[in-house]
Amino acid sequence: MTLSIVRKNSTHHEPRKTGVQPTFLIIHFTESRDAADPDGYFMATRQRSDGARVSAHYLIDIDGAITQYVDEQNRAWHAGLSEWGGVSDINTHSIGIELVNGGPTYGYTDFADAQIDALIALSKDILTRHNIPAHHVLAHSDIAPGRKIDPDYKFPWRTLAAAGVGSWPQPVQADFNEAAMLLRDEAKLKQALVTYGYNPGLDLPVLVKEFQRHFQPEAFTAQPSYAGRANDETALRLSALLRQKLAMTP
Ligand SMILES: [Zn+2]
């Protein structure tokens, strides 16, 4: 797939700190009916009700059309108060992509294939150029647990990982023992989530819920939902992801 990108210049950016290169890719949804609202906010032709000035490096419309608003070398304003792996100020360290989607406010629809295909092509290009590791492809909800939910549980992380974008757990035998140990001890379970990258300052159920939003979406769609409560599969996937991350970290 050849990348076709329309360029617009948002004034909502600033230089990254000297010498800082992006090491995270953050995925968002716009929670808007269409691309006009986020475009307006990024281009400062519309005011957000909370007065916040925002931007992202890229916006991908439902039909897959990609618009770039901020140079990758610059710091865009998409993450807000956030933290991962002890790194706060994720804006300084990341590239942000917004996907047009109604979210809960405007009927949370499935992400369209054309939009996901465009996201995969763009992300692969970004990850390669900046050498960003799979475990640093994250949701806004991962870096701002309890404050943000996007792109939420319908986002097809498994499909992305299969295409080479981001991580998806692939448990092996050793993970089953590790998972059983994690489930028996809440302190160890929380420590494992924190070791993976989640903010240590938040309570375990909040972190479990955000982990599930990314890596166990069936916790949200099951009847009844068990989002926020870890089960065997939660612990198994967490164990697998930790092992996969460790294998990639020199
Ligand atoms: Zn967001």
Residue span of the structural domain in which 203 resides? 173-248
Report the pLDDT value the prediction gives residue 250, as an integer from 0 to 100: 65
58 CA → ligand 1 middle, Å: 12
157 in a structural domain? yes
Contact assessment for residue 183 and residue 189, using Cβ atoms and an 8 Å cutoff? yes
Q: Look at residue 208 and tell me if it is in a domain.
A: yes
Q: How many domains does the chain have?
A: 2
d(CA 3, CA 126): 11
Q: By the 8 A CB rule, do 55 and 42 touch?
A: yes
- As a whole number, mean pLDDT of residues 149-169 equals 98
- Of 114, 133, 162, which residue is a domain's last? 162
Domain boundary, last residue among 99, 127, 162: 162
∠ CA(213), CA(229), CA(186), 5° rounding?
Answer: 115
Residue 1 has pLDDT above 80, yes or no: no
Q: Check if 72 is active-site.
A: no
The CATH number of whichever domain residue 78 belongs to comes to 3.40.80.10
Q: What is the pLDDT of residues 34-90, one digit of tens each?
A: 999 999 999 999 999 899 999 999 999 999 999 999 999 999 999 999 999 999 999
Does residue 10 sit in the same domain as residue 100? yes
Please say which residue of 127, 162, 197 terminates a domain.
Answer: 162
pTM confidence score: 0.97
Ligand 1 centroid to residue 104 C-alpha, Å? 13
Residue 22 lies in a domain: yes
Q: How far is the CA of 180 from the centre of ligand 1 (A)?
A: 33
- DSSP labels for 60-118? E-TT--EEE-S-TTEEES---S-EETTEE-GGGGEEEEEE---TGGG--PPPPHHHHHH
H or E element in which residue 24 lies: strand 24-29
Catalytic one of 98, 178, 210, 233 = 98
Residues 63 and 157 in one domain: yes
Q: What is the mean pLDDT of the chain?
A: 97
Ligand 1: distance of its center to the CA of 53 in Å?
13
Residue 233 lies in a domain: yes
- Does residue 132 lie in a domain region? yes
Q: Evaluate whether residue 168 is within a structural domain.
A: no
From ligand 1's centre to the CA of 79, what distance in Å?
6
Is the pLDDT confidence value at 168 over 70?
yes
152/50 same-domain check: yes
Residue 113 domain flag: yes
Q: How many residues does the chain have?
A: 250
pLDDT for 194 beyond 70: yes
The CATH code of the domain that includes 213 is: 1.10.101
110-155 confidence digits (pLDDT tens):
999 999 999 999 999 999 999 999 999 999 999 999 999 999 999 9
The CA 150 to ligand 1 mean position distance, Å, reads 5
Ligand 1 geometric centre to CA of 30 (Å): 7
